[in-house]
Structure 1
């Protein structure tokens, strides 16, 4: 019997896979637990359409992230903060601050996508990496000056 999986099933397949299983396994295990549905012609064509739409959305999202990274690449962000005489900051520059500054410049980047090599607690030049998904990353320059 052919079924379309609605959830990942160990040793059978992943969500959306069209698999062939024993009729008893489908009726007694997969269907009652809503792990699969019977693969009729309409359901298969409906699922294939949804799969194409989903893939198109994913490609569009990746293209948008790549365009954002291309715009942000190499940008310099300036922060004016108060610091002591030893150039140590009173506080620090955080990923939230960097995200807010990027938003002020017209780029929407979540603070969780920004990664710092180390906390920014001294004046000077620093680098932050922006990672947006698999193999999509760029670096921005952080310039911290005395206020």
Structure 2
């Protein structure tokens, strides 16, 4: 039986792929679980419209991410933190603190999008990556200063 996948299914394909499977597998597993539909002409058109909508949505998200990346480029955040001997911080600067500092500057960015290569435990300027979109990543500087 030929079916068209409406969800990604590991080992078989991605959305929109037409595959040939045994009748029982299609009727008893793929179709009831909403993974596939019979490969009729109308179902193929339906899946193509879903794919085109998804593509447009991803393109809009990418454009928004590129615009935000342009605004963030060259940004230097100042974060004050308690410091012990030899310029070492008590604890470390976390992605939550960076997200809060970005929010104060007017940029609402989820802390999960902030990528720290290693924990920031020293005073000074550090480079931090922010992944705004799977294809858009921007670097900002974080200036950690001692708290008075």
Measured against the shorter chain, the TM-score band is: 0.7 to 0.9
Question: Which blocks of at least 5 consecutive residues in structure 2 are unaligned?
Answer: none
What TM-score do the two structures reach when normalised by structure 2? 0.82
- 1:20-59 to 2 correspondences below 5 Å: 21=20, 25=22, 27-33=23-29, 34=31, 35-59=35-59
Q: Verify: 1:84 aligned to 2:80, yes or no.
A: no
- Which structure would you say has the larger Rg? 1
Pairwise CA RMSD = 2.1
Question: Which blocks of at least 5 consecutive residues in structure 1 are unaligned?
Answer: none
Q: CA deviation at 1:77?
A: 0.3
What TM-score do the two structures reach when normalised by structure 1? 0.82
Q: CA deviation at 1:103?
A: 1.6
* Cross-structure match for 1:142: 142
Q: Contact conserved, 2:6 with 2:47, CA < 8 A, in 1?
A: no
CA distance in 1: counterparts of 2:51 and 2:59, whole angstroms = 12
Runs of 4+ in 1 over 4 A off after TM superposition: none
Cα pair distance change 1:63/1:30, threshold 3 Å: same
Q: Verify: 1:112 aligned to 2:112, yes or no.
A: yes
Q: CA deviation at 1:18?
A: 2.5
- For residues 92-139 of structure 1, the C-alpha deviation after alignment (integer angstroms, 9 at most, x for no partner) is 211110011112212122222222233222221111111234342221
| Aligned length in residues | 142
